[in-house]
Amino acid sequence: MACTCPVCGKQTAHVGTLFSHLLNIHDRGHEKWLESYCVKNSINFG
Ligand SMILES: [Zn+2]
């Protein structure tokens, strides 16, 4: 299933690729989105 980055609109092949993109880009907007996503879904990236 294709995923689109909610921050910059980049197309990724699947959700794993989308998370790699979010984790690797180290951009303030992406970090903020990831933080709120993790809080909302109770995900702890350690
Ligand atoms: Zn992005």
Domain count, the chain: 1
Cα separation, 18 vs 7, in Å, equals: 11
Distance 14 CA to ligand 1 centre (A): 13
Domain that holds residue 21: 3-41
Q: Is residue 8 part of a domain?
A: yes
pTM over 0.75: no
Answer for the pair 6, 33: CB distance below 8 angstroms, yes or no. Answer: yes
Question: pLDDT per residue over 1-46, tens digit each?
Answer: 689 999 999 999 998 999 899 989 989 999 999 889 889 999 776 5
Whether residue 9 is contained in a domain is answered as yes
- Indicate whether 18 belongs to any domain: yes
Distance 30 CA to ligand 1 centre (A): 6
Instruction: Look at residue 46 and tell me if it is in a domain.
Output: no
How far apart are the CA of 3 and the centre of ligand 1, in A? 11
> Is 27 a domain residue?
yes
Rounded-to-integer distance, Cα 42 and Cα 3, Å:
21
Distance CA 3, CA 34 (A): 15
DSSP letters of 6-24?
TTT--EESSHHHHHHHHHH
